[in-house]
Amino acid sequence: MKLGAEPKKIAILGGLLAVALVVLYFNYFSSDDSSPAPRHRSANNDSLVKDWKPRLGFQNPEDRPDPATVDPTLRLDLLAKVQSVEAGPAGRNLFDFGQAPPPPPVAQAALPKVPKILVNQPVAVVQPPPPPGPPPPPKAPAMTFKYYGYKISALDGHKAAFLLDGEDILIAGENDTFKRRYRVVKIGVSSITIEDTQFKSMQTLPLQEMAS
């Protein structure tokens, strides 16, 4: 280490060491009379709370160090050891009273989700289904009669049809009513028209061929 290369650092270090020795001397050898007088308290609090008063240096005189034993030699080897330590990465300067850095950004997933509030939204009005209409009128059942032919009276020319209802043979002329609900409307050569008076409907039955 070259002492002549850094005289300013050595001078500053020597001055700091001298100031430290002076402060140490006054701390160790200052009289206890300079301590502030205790604060008076009420008689009720004397038994509960003890006065606290700061003290500088040692309380007992025998504990004070001897100034003759203090070595004022400047330890250049320790100074060189301190200077050889590499400084760490630059951080915040404690003496720079600038604006504080902004806080780190918060992840979007960490933020609570705020529910959306819909204002003045149209409300869908559900229309009730229309009432059911009247049921359709019942249909007349299909007629099971079989038309096999007719005859014409020689006296007045009145026609009479032959109908088969299962095993029963029915004979009815035009405008005649049979089985209390059926009326023969028209007797033709190849068909017959019968009205169901209960349902007010008419059906046409074809002429059935006779088995040979």
* Contacts (Cβ under 8 Å, ≥6 apart) of 10: 3, 74, 76, 79
Q: Is the pTM of this model over 0.75?
A: no
Q: What is the pLDDT of residue 31?
A: 47
Which domains are delineated in the chain? 7-32+40-83 (no CATH), 146-206 (2.30.30)
Q: What is the pLDDT of residue 119?
A: 67
Q: What is the pLDDT of residue 32?
A: 47
Residue 140 CA: distances (Å) to CA of 26, 102, 145, 204: 132, 91, 14, 13
Phi, psi values for residue 209, rounded to 5°: -80, 135
Q: What is the pLDDT of residue 55?
A: 64
Q: What is the pLDDT of residue 28?
A: 62
Per-residue pLDDT of the chain (212 residues), as tens digits, is: 444 446 667 777 777 777 777 767 766 655 444 444 445 444 455 554 556 666 666 667 677 777 777 777 777 887 788 777 776 666 666 666 666 777 777 665 556 677 777 667 677 778 888 888 888 888 889 999 999 999 998 888 889 999 999 899 999 999 999 999 999 999 999 999 999 999 999 999 999 986 65
Say if strands 182-187 and 191-196 run parallel, antiparallel, or are unpaired.
Answer: antiparallel
Phi, psi values for residue 201, rounded to 5°: -135, 155
Q: What is the pLDDT of residue 127?
A: 84
Give the pair of three-digit tokens for residue 73. 């030699």
- What gap in Å lies between CA 21 and CA 70, rounded to an integer? 9
